[in-house]
Structure formats: C-alpha cells, structure tokens
Structure 1
Amino acid sequence: MTNSPIVDDLVRASAVMGGMIDRIAGDQWTAPTPCTEWSVRDVVSHLVEVNLVFVAMFEEGPMPDRAADCLGADPAGAHRRSAAALLAAAVLPEALERSSSSWVDVAAGAVRLQWRVADLIVHGWDLAQATGVAAEWPDYLVEQSLAFARAQLPAPSRAGRFADPQPIRDDAPALERLVAFTGLPVPWTP
C-alpha cells in the first residue's frame, strides 16, 4: 500500500469495481441502471471519464475529450487502464495537497479522492442492481463514504450534482443509506 490512507482506500475501491466490471456479461452492457439516463455501459464510461479527468487534474495536464468513446471494444480494459493511471497520478508529489477547480468546486486532491471512492461505491451499487454482479465493499469504506458525503452535501449545495435524498430506514445497511443519500431509490426496480 501507500503512505496515504485515501490512496489506499482508492486502491481497494478500484479493485472491487474492477472485479465487478470484469464479470459483466456481454449482453448486460445495454441494461438499464438506477441512474435513469444511463445504461451499464454509460455508468462504466462515466467511471473511466472521471478517472481520466482526475488524472488530468493531478498531472496538471489537458482534460480528456469527454465526447470521445473512452471504452472502445474493451470496457473492462479501459477501466483497468484508467484506474491505474489515476493511482499513478494520485501519488505524484503534492497531488493530494494541490487544489484544482472543476465545474462543481475547488478542492484539494485528497478531497477529490474521497469523492472518487464514494462515487465508485455508489456506482458499484448501480451496476450490481443492473447486472446482478455482487461486490464486497469493505464496511469501513462504505461507512466512511457515507459520513463524508453527508458532511460535504448539505441540501443547498446538491443542485446539479445529486437528486434529493430518498427515504431510507435509519437501520438500513450503510451502502443503502449512502445510495439513498445520493438520490437513488432503494430498492430499485428496472
């Protein structure tokens, strides 16, 4: 592992997500997901695109062409390559301390990685719902992501980023509470 707990968390979350994507069957790529406008392929494309955007931020390089097909004929391979590139960029000197701006905010690299981990977990749930491919997220990582999202997303700042939180039992599993907090209905029915 690394000297940084958040990079270690990203390594774990990326490994879980990569394992899920590797198990998506060929006929599942067009299946609908809880992200109502996205198919399974669209969710994976989003994951790869965000990895590449973060690489550009950490390397202080040009942003990727968001209109380009970043998956090609090998979505799982594209995800593996983008996850590896993100991990390499995250350990560059000062990458975690340096702030960068996006259409959403200005944030330090470490905060961006916390969002990345939470995003991987939420979209892992999306993919599991759409494909039936299960994932074993470390409990501490889910709890940590839920606490982080709650602290970072007060109601007025959600606009354009997430839908309103959905109703969920207080004693529901942390993963379901995280997903509901980000605006997705639990349970989800295609």
Structure 2
Amino acid sequence: MHFTGYSTRLAAYAVLVDDREQILLTWFNGGSRRAGAGWSLPGGGVDFDEGIRAGLVREVHEETGYAVRVGELLAEHHFTGPAHERDGRPFRSQRLVFAAEIVGGELGTTEVGGTTDFARWVPLADLAAEPLVDIVRLGVRAWQGRAHAERHRLHAGRLTQVVGGVSDWDAPTPVAEWTARDVVGHLVGWLPGFLAAGCDVVLETGPSVAQDPVGAWAHHRDQVQALLEDPDLAHRTYRHDRVPDAPLGEVVDRFYTTDVFLHTWDLARASGQDDTLDPPTVAQLYDGLRAAEEVIRASGQFGKAQPVPDDAGLQDRLVALIGRDPGWRPPGRGPSTG
C-alpha cells in the first residue's frame, strides 16, 4: 500500500536501567478501552512538530517525572492494523526504542488524564511474573543484547592488553599444568564446540595458537564481538540438555565472557603484569558464584576453593573461590602489581 493510503503513528520509548538492575516502567491503563493494561516503557507518540528525541524527552518527563538524555537507538519495530475508528484508514504504528539516562527530576507522573497511571522501578529479575506490554520485551531484549556486546568488548579488551604484554608464552600460570599459551588456547578452543552443541552458529578458524597466540586471540575476539553485535545471531535460541533455552548472546555472556574475565587474572599473574580486575564485576561474580558454589563445584570446571585470610580483599576471595591461590607467582618473581 502506498504511504498516502494509510495513517502513521510515530512513537519513541526509553530503556532506563539503574545500577541495581532495575528498569523504569510505566503502568499503561489500557486507554479508553481499558483492555491490555500492563507495564510499558516510558514514552509514547511524537507530536507533529517535534523531533523524535525531543518527543521522547517530553514523554518520559510527563510519565515519570525524570529529565533524561537520549542515547543510541536500540531497536525499531512496527505493526499495522485495519481501518482505524478515528479516521477510517488503515494505520501503521512505527516504534523506536532508545537507551537513555536520567539527568534530573524525581519520580512522579505528571501526566493527567492520559494512558499512564504511575511509574515505578521494577527489578529485571521480576519481569517474567509481571503483566508486560510487548514493547517492554522488545526493549529489554535489545538493551540486554547491547549490554552483552559491551561487556565482552570491555573484558576482551582488557585481556587483549594483557596478551600484548606477554613475553614468555611458555611461562607457568596459576592453573596447574597450563602455560601462558594454554590460557589463550583454552579461550580460543572451547567456544566453537559449545556453539555447535546448541545452535548453528560457526566461528571462522583463525591463526594457530601454537604459532601466533596474539593473532589467534585477536581473531577469535573479533569473531565473538561480531556475533554479539549481530541481533540475528545474538537472539537465536541456544538449546542444550544441560542449559535452559536462552538467547545465544545471553549464553555467551554468562559462560564465555565470564571465562575471559577470570582467565585475565591467570595470564596477567603469569606474565607479571597488573592483575587488577574490574571491581564491580568482581563483586557481582563473587556473589553469584558463592551462591551457586555447590553447583559450580559439581560441574568439574573449577578447582577446590583455596583458603584466604579473614582480611582478604574481594578479588583474592573470588580467585580463591574458583580454585586459584591468590598468592601464586611465577618462579623468581616478586609480588604482583595488582
């Protein structure tokens, strides 16, 4: 149908997630029909004479009380319908979802007589039990996909720095019987088989770790980053009898990116480099792994927890929890810089 033959509603929505993994949602009351009520993303229709981002800033303030800065476009979606009761024309609803951050204001809906009753911060972990408008699922999935890609970029980038600083690839590491080269070999080697076991995504083979560990890691890193940045690949369902069905990007983030983060300490300590890990990630992983210690120990993927003094820092506690000796250092080397 030609664009002159239908009406269009242009709407923009914001995904706002705080440091406690809570998302800001608004309660959609169902409108005049009072049907389909549930949680929605802050946002709504863009007025005739305003820009898309300006319209979103206005809508968020009306519905939540917050002033926001609009970030990158996360997702776009549209749906169509038959002749609308208002003008008798078929219609197209075009929806854009953006990342955003709060720059001012306070929680409190200022909209009067509209479709939003109130706004609230809702834990992401609780969304499955809540009545959600479909735009929430779309926005959360897009936001999580971006978060997975950015987390891998951050942690793989840190490991890349460490890889570039290794001078002896045959040096021992805190992992018994592993050399520095073996750490890279492990990270490059296990993911392709893991992917093949639960989906049809294939990574291209790169340089040999034996001959070029730096090049092998760089090639593999870029392959994984490209996977996570491709919505079609990252949103494919990973199915395996030992892992609950989940989007591939989520599975890669949970298992592989975490592995990259933890093995950065091994390689940095083995090569005498700064082995300090990102503190917020250390805290998050420590809490998560400690809560699931019985499960991870039974998996055989982690060694026996090592003892640490009562005043040990959180990074040392994490390292010890996964079976490393926080005091380990290469033969002939003094204390680490981390």
TM range (shorter): 0.7 to 0.9
SS of corresponding position for 1:188: coil
Q: Which residue matches 1:164?
A: 304
By how many angstroms is 1:174 displaced? 2.5
How many aligned positions are there? 184
Q: Does 1:83 align with 2:225?
A: no
Bigger mean CA deviation after superposition, 90-99 or 133-142:
90-99
Q: Kindly report which structure 2 residues correspond to 1:50-89, keeping only aligned pairs within 5 A, or say none.
A: 50-53=190-193, 56=196, 60-61=200-201, 70-89=208-227
2:303–2:324: 8 Å Cα contact kept in structure 1? yes
Q: Kindly report which structure 2 residues correspond to 1:24-43, keeping only aligned pairs within 5 A, or say none.
A: 24-25=166-167, 28-43=168-183
2:201–2:233: 8 Å Cα contact kept in structure 1? no
| C-alpha distance after superposition, 1:15-49 (max 9, x if no partner) | 00011001111xx1011111112100011111112
**Aligned sequence identity (%):** 28
Bigger mean CA deviation after superposition, 166-175 or 178-187:
166-175
Q: Kindly tell me: are residues 31 and 80 of structure 1, through their superposed partners in 2, closer, same or farther at Cα, counting changes over 3 Å? A: same
Please state which structure has a larger fraction of its residues in strand: 2
Q: Which residue matches 1:18?
A: 160
2:282–2:314: 8 Å Cα contact kept in structure 1? yes
2:207–2:219: 8 Å Cα contact kept in structure 1? no
Return the index of the structure with the highest Cα Rg. Answer: 2
By how many angstroms is 1:135 displaced? 4.4
SS of corresponding position for 1:154: helix
- Runs (5+) with no aligned partner, structure 2: 1-71, 75-142, 331-338
Q: Kindly tell me: are residues 13 and 53 of structure 1, through their superposed partners in 2, closer, same or farther at Cα, counting changes over 3 Å? A: farther
2:199–2:239: 8 Å Cα contact kept in structure 1? no
1:13–1:137: 8 Å Cα contact kept in structure 2? no
Q: Does 1:132 align with 2:272?
A: yes
Q: Does 1:106 align with 2:248?
A: no
Bigger mean CA deviation after superposition, 173-182 or 92-101:
92-101
2:199–2:238: 8 Å Cα contact kept in structure 1? no
1:167–1:180: 8 Å Cα contact kept in structure 2? yes
Please state which structure has a larger fraction of its residues in helix: 1
Q: Kindly tell me: are residues 101 and 166 of structure 1, through their superposed partners in 2, closer, same or farther at Cα, counting changes over 3 Å? A: same
For 2:283 and 2:163, the matched residues in 1 are separated by 23
TM-score (norm 2): 0.47
1:16–1:135: 8 Å Cα contact kept in structure 2? no
By how many angstroms is 1:127 displaced? 1.1
For 1:56 and 1:88, the matched residues in 2 are separated by 17
Across the aligned residues of Structure 1 and Structure 2, the Cα RMSD in angstroms comes to: 3.1
Q: Which residue matches 1:149?
A: 289
Return the letter of the residue paired with 1:10: H
By how many angstroms is 1:91 displaced? 3.0
Q: Kindly tell me: are residues 168 and 8 of structure 1, through their superposed partners in 2, closer, same or farther at Cα, counting changes over 3 Å? A: same
TM-score (norm 1): 0.79
Return the letter of the residue paired with 2:237: R
By how many angstroms is 1:60 displaced? 1.5
| C-alpha distance after superposition, 1:71-124 (max 9, x if no partner) | 14221111111011011112332625623338xx31533143123233222211
